[in-house]
Structure 1
Amino acid sequence: MTTLDTQTTDRYRTRVADRPALVERVEPTVHGGVDAPGLLGRDELAAHDRDGFVTVPELLTASEVATYSAELDRLATDPTVRADERTVVEKSSQQVRSIFEVHRISEAVAALVADERVAGRARQILGSDVYVHQSRINYKPGFGGGGFYWHSDFETWHAEDGMPAPRAVSTSIALTENFTHNGCLMIMPGSHRTFVSCVGETPAEHYRESLREQEIGTPDPDSLTTLADRHGIAMLTGPAGSATLFDSNCMHGSGSNITPYSRSNIFVVFNSVENALVEPFAAPAPRPSYIAAREFTPV
């Protein structure tokens, strides 16, 4: 593992009042380079470098989608899983919103996470061995599945988990069709090259509320407007079985789902083994390991 560069980590110190809101990123965003060998082609790696994300239209087959959809249904209705602290429910409906560390709860999901189609693409982008920083299922049922406000994952992972630099990639695998109207993922293309610092002291055990509805650690409206004006907003739609890989510093979010059409996905975050977590940069204590792993064994 590499030695921490304090000049690098200090660029991303956050949740204090006297920092500029926008900091331009200097690290590479495709750490393996656009010619890195692997399942992603040069054009796809170049798109990820330019936009901060790349889509894979048919990561899973139809039969695999059916298998994993059945597994998600089983987990959502299992009373033992429901009672587990790794399960998060919606504030209003009390329906299951997310199940964390799902690759340790489900053997089927564990196999998918380790699949070369998934982990291999992460290694290619990050240019190193990778470990699972976080895994979860996101459920967004019809008629009320809650949204996720605009945020950069890295801001939270840096402030609350101690991730030194934005050298992680998220893979969102759709198990239902993603329409523009059922709360699809939205990303500001190119926003991964600008870090948005947030203000506000992080309360102890903030994760208990933020996983249901995040308020602290969200960007200010002026910064969001600047990024949206600069980059626009991409609505990422696609059939079940498609996937999106996106940089940890992308500004992204999703709206609530008031349609009859549910949206669910398997979400896996791979971090470089050279970017392992240290102490949080703006929180009194680390979040639980099921949210931010502190076991760095490569996949």
Structure 2
Amino acid sequence: MNSPLTAKQITDYQRDGYVIVPALFSREEIDKLFEVARSDAAISDNSYDVRDESGKRSKLALWFTPGDDIYGLLTRSERMVGAVDALLGGSAPVCHFHSKLMQKEPFVGGAWEWHQDYGYWYKNEFLFPDQMASVMVAITEATRENGCLQVIRGSHKMGRVEHGKTGEQVGASIRYVSLALDVMDLVYVELKPGDALFFHSNLLHRSDANVSPVSRWSLISCYNRQSNKPFNEASSSCITPLEVVPDGSLLAASAAGMAKGADFLTKEGDVTLREE
């Protein structure tokens, strides 16, 4: 499978636990996605709030099986799957664990605590974190003011850190976060629409509340190798090989939102194991 990543980008990911790919998606593609997402009744009906310790709230919708809607065409695009395939350990087919549309609105969008994605996914009994990764595609600009992602460079090499409940979220041990910050760099991941952040499942990351008048929206797709079978996960999406679509599909297809009956996660389905 073709990958848009250079050898240097793959090396950077292995060393730092993340890599930023500028303009992985064109402005035309992102504008089309944003237009559909803002008026998507299924997304709106299945979005819910997750509050931070101060009471501010971020809104998200999460689903498992990628379809032929505009989100699925992005998630299954050759450039996305090819890049993930180049970054994950192992050689089994790439599968889709879940995707989520993150909506951090002006002034009310809340913070996310320091955490690792595998800090949650460990509870789903996936055994191999090197075979899991997330990709954040910026739909709107992400800045320090509107609560862009922050990462600790190289923290994926620490392995899994213990996590505990913090309000409606699950956060990493603050002791280990403090130790990591003593010896590793804190990076603010500011992105333009269409930029993509690929990051390891054990990379420590967080975000501040949105204190700006500008929304921060992003689509985050999480991937897994088929060989990394979970022992405590109801959805089979994470071990179902993806049907990859050509990169031109997102613009060529009729703009379509999420189909009714999509397998969304409800808040009662335990968002604390799924967050970004």
What range describes the TM-score normalised by the shorter chain of this pair? Answer: 0.7 to 0.9
**Other-structure match for 2:269:** none
Paired residues, number: 236
Return the match for 2:95 from 131, 136, 151: 131
Q: What SS class does the counterpart of residue 234 from structure 1 fall into?
A: strand
- Is it true that 1:214 corresponds to 2:176 in the alignment? no
Residues 37 and 65 (structure 1 numbering): CA distance in 2 closer, same or farther, change over 3 Å?
closer
User: How high is the TM-score relative to the length of structure 1?
Assistant: 0.73
In structure 2, the CA distance between the partners of 1:59 and 1:258, relative to structure 1 (3 Å rule), is same
Quote the offset at 1:93 in angstroms.
Answer: 7.0
CA contact (8 A) 2:21 2:197 kept: yes
Q: Residue 146 of structure 1: CA displacement?
A: 1.1
2:121 to 157, 164, 182: 157
Distance 1:147 1:246 in 2: 19
The alpha-carbon deviation at position 103 of structure 1 amounts to 5.8
Local SS of the residue matching 2:218: strand
Give the CA RMSD over aligned residues. 2.4
- TM-score between the two structures when normalised by the length of structure 2: 0.78
Deviations 1:185-236 (A, max 9, x none): 1110000001243266x8xxxxxxx8x8314xx2222211101111121101
Greater Rg by CA: 1
Matched-pair contact (CA < 8 Å) for 2:162–2:173: yes
Task: Tell me if the contact between 2:65 and 2:98 (Cα under 8 Å) persists in the aligned partners.
Answer: no
Aligned to 2:139: 175
Note if 1:119 corresponds to 2:74.
no
Shift of 1:278: 1.2
**What is the CA–CA distance in structure 2 between the aligned matches of 1:178 and 1:199, rounded to whole Å?**
26
Is 1:110 matched with 2:72? yes
Counterpart residue number, 2:272: none
Q: Distance in 1 between matches of 2:98 and 2:25?
A: 21
CA contact (8 A) 1:158 1:165 kept: no
Equivalent residue runs for 1:32-181 within 5 Å: 38-75=3-40, 78=41, 80-84=42-46, 87-91=47-51, 97-101=59-63, 104=66, 107-126=69-88, 127-128=90-91, 129-159=93-123, 161-166=124-129, 167-181=131-145
Q: Which amino acid aligns with 1:89?
A: D
Question: Matched residue of 2:227: which SS?
Answer: helix
Aligned partners of 1:155, 1:68: CA distance in 2, in Å? 30
The alignment-based identity, stated in percent, is: 25
Task: List gaps (5 residues or longer) in structure 1.
Answer: 1-35, 203-209, 280-285
- Give the C-alpha shift of residue 105 in structure 1: 6.9
- SS of 1:274's equivalent in the other structure is coil
